[in-house]
Structure 1
Amino acid sequence: MIDISFFQVKKTYYQKPILESVSFDVLSGSKIGLIGRNGAGKTTLFKLMMNDELPDAGQVTLRKGLRLGFLEQLPDHRPGQTVKNLLDEGFSELHALRATLSELELRMSEDPQNTSLLKSYGEKLTLFEALGGYTTEVKLNEICQALKLVPLLDQPFESLSGGEKTRTLFGRLLLKAPDVLLLDEPTNHLDSDMLEWLERYLNLYDGTVIMISHDRYFLDLVAQSILELDQGYVRHYEGNYSWYAIEKEKQNELQLQQYLLQQKKVKAIEAAIKRFELWGTMGDNEKFFKKANQFKARLDKMDKVLPPDHGQLNYKLSLDSTSKSSKQLITLENLKLGYPGMTLLEHGHLSLFRGERLCLIGKNGAGKTTLFKAILGQCEPLDGLVRVGASATIGYIPQDIEFENADLSLHDWCIQTLSLSGGEARNLLAHYGFRDQEVFRRLSTLSGGERSRLKLIQISKSQSTLLLLDEPTNHMDIPSREQLEAMLSDFKGTLLMISHDRYLIEMIATGMVWLHDQTLERIDGGYEDYLTARSQVEQLAANTVPDKSGGASEKNTGVSNQYRKERPKTYQKEKLRLQQVEAEIVSTEDRLTLIEEALKAHASDFEKLTALSSELAALKEHHHALLEEWTELADIIEAAPKA
């Protein structure tokens, strides 16, 4: 059954086409990842689905009676509203039905013989019961417990952190019980606990889910198909993000071949035009000019094939860290952090050495950003010592980027901040994707992703030896995240980052620092190792039995290395790699089939046969290696202890 259908939809803003003949169907129960660059029009698609916008052409059709629920990326300010007030809005339809039932009851008491009133009351009552009108308190309690909203119920919504706001709005959305969930960047600001809860919930959810997300790890674990919005057109890919990435690469290779082939034809036609025009001029013969015009018309009518990277921002971020720094860049000794009435960290110890890349992870509100501020000298410790190496040059990107003078243009900011000339500023901004009149935009008009890009430009010119990055991929689209990963991979200095972007962590981090229970715990390895350590701590806490004195039979002060080795892994990384290998096997088998067909077609071409045979042998070897890896991964996952 089709929930939502787009047919040849077009949409233009300020004479700029956003959607060009977009067509796709959303089937009931599907889990779809909607991806595309910032500004590509993804939120516009959501607005069209919700009838907040109308298409300039084409049709958007929704199944009759379909109920949509929308989780916005940037929530409205709600002055004076508490979390409980906002959650109660999830029952707005039930409140309206209850009011209608009360009105009908009053009218029926005045006119008990009116059968039409009785029929209407029965229909409304049936709908009220079907929507769970008598279980609202139970639902509210379940959602508050699951999303950890109980302590926040009486707090003003505007005072909440980004993650708390997201959880509150998602709770309100779930209480509405829509048929289709429209989620705009649902993982932004969520800590790892809530990310994993959200993934489990969506995988078990019976309805339809369409999610705008740049979180590739999340898309791999939840999405069953991908819709890519690129240059006004939508393409559909079956499978999760890893499958999409492989199929996209294959399509790009094919498109590049078609583009290069067409360019040869274009050059040949252009050469013919010049030749006939020259002959016409030399011989003063109108027939040659007529022939040249025929070739020009043929060129104009040609459907142009664009290169795969057409319209994309092609820039490369780079960091220069040639200067030497101290061997030990950060030292924390017996550190205590907090505020009046709240302790965030007690007896914190940490050493960060040159060349290390550590990820600081923990729940929202645990004190990660406060720790960064202490390292930067922006927050005075309650006790203990923070020492930064004397030769360390720090490059810092905060989670929320603000500029001292937001009325400056990008051009003037570069001149003042980076000490560049006007020409140098324009060239630098053009290299990083800010071109033409964009360089005169005010800093206040920049999106979150553009602010991050500008801050990275500043850091790239600072020759920093130590980077402190606080959720650097927030608001970045996938290509920008890949640029950041490439930059950090090439960086020769030292890195300490706060992030819940699991792709980034797996790509970059050489170790984890877990801030929990007012302690800092260092974990060798990546995100998977952090999950194992966290699972062990949670199990140890669950197994702790209070003694008669009101204490505990075991103290939750950490977990021994021996205990860690005995605990089973969650094998999340292996499961993700298994999906990627499966996609590569299918792609390789498709290529093998094509080569075998090409061998038959070129049976008399010795040079072609030699090249194809070499490629066939290499592909078969690669295919065999993939099958072996798949078998090993499958055995590991199969042998894993069941939860």
Structure 2
Amino acid sequence: MFKKQNSVLINVKGVEKSFHLQKVLDNIQFEIKNGERIGLVGLNGTGKTTLANLLIGKLIPDKGVIEKPNDLKIGYLTQSIDYEVNDFHESLAGAVDNDLFQHASQLGLRKLYDWKDTRLSHLSGGEKLKLALSMVWASKPDVLILDEPTNHLDFTGIDWLIAELTKFHGPVMIISHDRHFLDQTVNRIFEIENGKIHLYNGNYSDYRKVKQLQLENQRHQYNVQQRQIELVEGQMEQLKTWSEKAHRSSTKQEGTKEYHRVKAKKRDNQVKSKMKRLENELEKQRKEKPLDEAKIRFEFDHHGKRGKRIIEAKMLTKVFDDRILFHDSHFYINQGECIGLLGENGCGKTTLIKMILGMEASSKGELWKSESSKIAYLSQDVADLPVDQSTLEALGYTDRENILKARTLLANLGLKEDHIIKPIGMLSLGQRTRVKLVDILMKEYDVLILDEPTNHLDLPSREQLEKTLSEFTGTIITVSHDFYFLNKLCVQLLVFDNQQIKRVEMKPEDYFNTKKTDDKYEKLLVIENKIAAILGELSIIDQKDPKYQQLDQEFNELLKQKRSLIE
């Protein structure tokens, strides 16, 4: 309906929003034009999801207005993906055309219309997200607002989402901390910082460059101003010293009292004049000290021996009802390795983690674990924290030493006193993830199992977590669809493919490049075989035969496909 490019569809004017007397958004103003691709970024808890809820009308601003057409249809993907089975039942039952099933199929959810209740009740986080995305797309929206759309999503799903966003004609706002995804999808960045919104042109990398230059420029201007203030203050100190000396002289030397009194008064006036000029100068163009970007500190303390085998699988098989997740799989994990688990949503990555943790049994085969290994587990689900307890209550520490250590770690992670005394239900999902990280940091361990560890974390936290994990000497087993994170850490992989788990000795980037080459070679073989078959048929039929023209068209189409693969 809203076809005209660059026409303003949403106009936000002077919007303010507070919660519990704390102002989250302050005088927010911007326009969203048709066809725009906007990335909304900012630290956890700064108000990104609040702004999304204001745009869709779920929340009402305390001040200001949001102008948009009454018939504007906004497709909103929520961040938490805590859909109930009933939500999916209703959408599937109400599907009036094949759009929902088609999108789901493209995302790897095959024959969705045949899924039973038990299948819907055991969806992985990624499968829930794919189904939710299919529901959003099938609603045929005019505007898309996607809150952390790549959390839980496998690389096949991310590729689909990028392609679909390219085809979508309306405006898109994406709330995400996925740097790789933002670079490929957006052309503007809206940053929320200290309740204000700042607008930047370009993708995420462009924004980071401009932001860094702004920070350096602000720091330079602030330092120049500080030197000027020091110089003026030094001059005033000298004048004050001279003034005091003149005042003392005016009381001692009889013949020159008046001279020294005038001199002292002159010095006093000079001090007042300089002070006034300095105050006026600062009032006109004060350079505020730049707030250094958040520095998050994670502290791991482990020194383990490398090389010793700690996990080994032989003929490992896992079946749910009549669905085979993986079978007859052989692999091992050594102490000190960082292993990435790769595979499509629903292939069994989280199930394997549960098997390693002893929460699931194998259907067949053996999964051996070293009994001496102590494992810490960060799950992708932050909904298992008690929402009515404070952070310290949820962590469960009662002795003074552990409480002090927990407070220090929470502060290092950017959770200040006002955060840790709130009920957990009032914290953002990213802040809840940090609470779970502190729970891990408080323990001594040999193995870290991390299921989507960067989900909900803001960018400074992600980057610091990458750095710290790279220095960890124990074993890391991680599931992540954050390509930057996975590629920076992992040099070995467990790949879930064709219902088997295989160990691969390479980084994710190298694996994907190799896989693309292999897929290309297989496609070429298929095309070559078809070309050979058609040439065989063409050689034995007459050119006047109606089938000849049809085969000739197929032959030319296959040649085009072959050329596109070779080029």
Q: Please classify the TM superposition score into its range, dividing by the shorter chain length.
A: 0.7 to 0.9
- After TM superposition, list the pairs within 5 Å mapping 1:366-405 onto structure 2: 366-401=347-382
Q: Does 1:192 align with 2:155?
A: yes
TM-score, with structure 1 as normaliser: 0.68
Equivalent residue in structure 2 for 1:15, among 3, 18, 21: 21
Taking the aligned partners of 2:345 and 2:220, their CA distance within structure 1 comes to: 48
- After TM superposition, list the pairs within 5 Å mapping 1:9-408 onto structure 2: 9-62=15-68, 66-75=72-81, 77-78=83-84, 80-83=86-89, 85-86=90-91, 137-149=97-109, 151-153=111-113, 155=116, 160-268=123-231, 283=247, 294=276, 297-298=279-280, 301=283, 303-310=285-292, 313-324=294-305, 327-401=308-382
Equivalent residue in structure 2 for 1:430, among 386, 396, 411: 411
Taking the aligned partners of 1:278 and 1:458, their CA distance within structure 2 comes to: 58
Q: Partner of 2:485 in structure 1?
A: 504
Taking the aligned partners of 2:104 and 2:401, their CA distance within structure 1 comes to: 53
Give the Å deviation of 1:428. Answer: 3.7
Give the Å deviation of 1:298. Answer: 3.5
TM-score, with structure 2 as normaliser: 0.77
Taking the aligned partners of 2:405 and 2:411, their CA distance within structure 1 comes to: 10
Taking the aligned partners of 1:494 and 1:479, their CA distance within structure 2 comes to: 24
Residue 416 of structure 1 aligns to a residue whose secondary structure is: coil
Residue 111 of structure 2 aligns to a residue whose secondary structure is: helix
Give the Å deviation of 1:81. Answer: 4.6
Bigger CA drift: 395-404 or 411-420?
411-420
Taking the aligned partners of 1:441 and 1:18, their CA distance within structure 2 comes to: 16
Give the Å deviation of 1:472. Answer: 0.6
Are the counterparts in 1 of residues 306 and 336 from structure 2 also a CA contact under 8 Å? no
Residue 464 of structure 1 aligns to a residue whose secondary structure is: coil
Change in Cα spacing, 1:270 to 1:199, as seen in structure 2 (3 Å) is: same
Q: Which amino acid aligns with 1:30?
A: E
Are the counterparts in 2 of residues 325 and 389 from structure 1 also a CA contact under 8 Å? no
Change in Cα spacing, 1:506 to 1:82, as seen in structure 2 (3 Å) is: closer
Are the counterparts in 2 of residues 273 and 295 from structure 1 also a CA contact under 8 Å? no
Answer 1 or 2: higher relative contact order, Cα 8 Å, separation at least 6: 2
Q: Partner of 1:484 in structure 2?
A: 465
Q: Partner of 2:251 in structure 1?
A: none
Change in Cα spacing, 1:432 to 1:65, as seen in structure 2 (3 Å) is: closer
Are the counterparts in 2 of residues 87 and 169 from structure 1 also a CA contact under 8 Å? no
Taking the aligned partners of 2:499 and 2:182, their CA distance within structure 1 comes to: 32
Are the counterparts in 1 of residues 314 and 328 from structure 2 also a CA contact under 8 Å? yes
Change in Cα spacing, 1:405 to 1:228, as seen in structure 2 (3 Å) is: closer
Q: In angstroms, what is the RMSD of aligned CA positions?
A: 3.7
Q: Partner of 2:509 in structure 1?
A: 528
* Structure 2 unaligned spans of 5+: 1-5, 248-263, 528-562
Change in Cα spacing, 1:21 to 1:409, as seen in structure 2 (3 Å) is: closer
Are the counterparts in 1 of residues 146 and 174 from structure 2 also a CA contact under 8 Å? yes
Give the Å deviation of 1:347. Answer: 1.6
Taking the aligned partners of 1:170 and 1:76, their CA distance within structure 2 comes to: 13
Bigger CA drift: 279-288 or 509-518?
279-288
Give the Å deviation of 1:292. Answer: 8.2
Residue 485 of structure 1 aligns to a residue whose secondary structure is: helix
Change in Cα spacing, 1:238 to 1:88, as seen in structure 2 (3 Å) is: farther
- After TM superposition, list the pairs within 5 Å mapping 1:613-628 onto structure 2: none
Residue 400 of structure 1 aligns to a residue whose secondary structure is: coil
Residue 262 of structure 1 aligns to a residue whose secondary structure is: helix
Are the counterparts in 1 of residues 296 and 461 from structure 2 also a CA contact under 8 Å? no
Change in Cα spacing, 1:373 to 1:147, as seen in structure 2 (3 Å) is: closer
Change in Cα spacing, 1:269 to 1:43, as seen in structure 2 (3 Å) is: farther
